[in-house]
Amino acid sequence: MAYTKGDELEAFCATCPSAEEVTSLLQAVGFTLAFCMDAVPSACAEVPPLPAQFHYRDRRGSEVIFLAGSDADPDGVQLPEHASRFWIHPGADVGVARRVAHVLAVKWSFAWRGESQVSQDVAWPATQSGRFTLVCEERWTCREFSLPSSTQHGM
């Protein structure tokens, strides 16, 4: 089955890029910073602090959210170890969301998964050669593709 607008993606990143670096990359692919919030410390030992967050949007309604730090699930669900986190919510042009997901995954070497399907990953793992294999849940169209050589090392 093909990708549908309601299928959001999330990614857990082993590194925490700077907000400036994320903003620069997303601006280069047509996104603008729509909202940001500073980190919120916690006064309670049982409640973890909230990392800074940055919300980006393109002219067709696609959104990228960058959480600049590790977070914990408020319901106690164990999250994968991570230093930062991303989400993508597709707008009117699903192709843009796919391209941006690809660019982000290549830049920071992480894998995407369907937000609503925690146990099923949608992985876009980067390799040194720039070849990718999409490991997909049933709602995604799976294929293998290569990056142009200028894209592999230019970001």
pLDDT at 80 over 70: yes
Mean pLDDT on 89-104: 93
Query: Which residues fall within 8 angstroms of residue 95, CB to CB, at 6 or more apart?
Result: none
Q: In the predicted model, what is the mean pLDDT of the chain?
A: 76
Angstrom distance (rounded) from CA 129 to CA 149: 9
As a whole number of angstroms, the distance between CA 62 and CA 95 comes to: 10
Q: Spell out the CATH class of 9-37+50-70+79-153.
A: alpha beta
**Mean of the pLDDT values across residues 86-92?**
95
Q: Given this model, what pLDDT does residue 77 score?
A: 84
The secondary element (H helix, E strand) that includes residue 22 is helix 19-28
Using CA atoms, how far residue 26 sits from 39, 107, 137, in Å, is 21, 11, 26
Positive/negative CA dihedral, 28, 19, 58, 104: positive
Structural domain boundaries in the chain: 9-37+50-70+79-153
Q: With pLDDT > 70 as the criterion, what percentage of the chain qualifies?
A: 70
3-state secondary structure of 15: coil
- Confidence (pLDDT) at 6: 53
| More reliable by pLDDT, 11 or 4 | 11
Amino acid at 152: Q
- pLDDT for res 153: 38
Strands 84-89 and 9-13: antiparallel
- Please compute the mean of the pLDDT values over residues 7-22 and round it to a whole number: 94
Structure tokens at 63: 């959104």
Pick the more confident residue, 3 or 66. Answer: 66
Q: Is the pLDDT of residue 134 over 70?
A: no
| DSSP secondary structure code for residue 129 in this structure | T
pLDDT-based confidence at 142, cuts 50/70/90?
A: very low
The DSSP symbol for 54 reads E
β-bridge partners, 16: none
pLDDT of residue 30: 96
Give the bridge partners for 84, in sequence order: 13
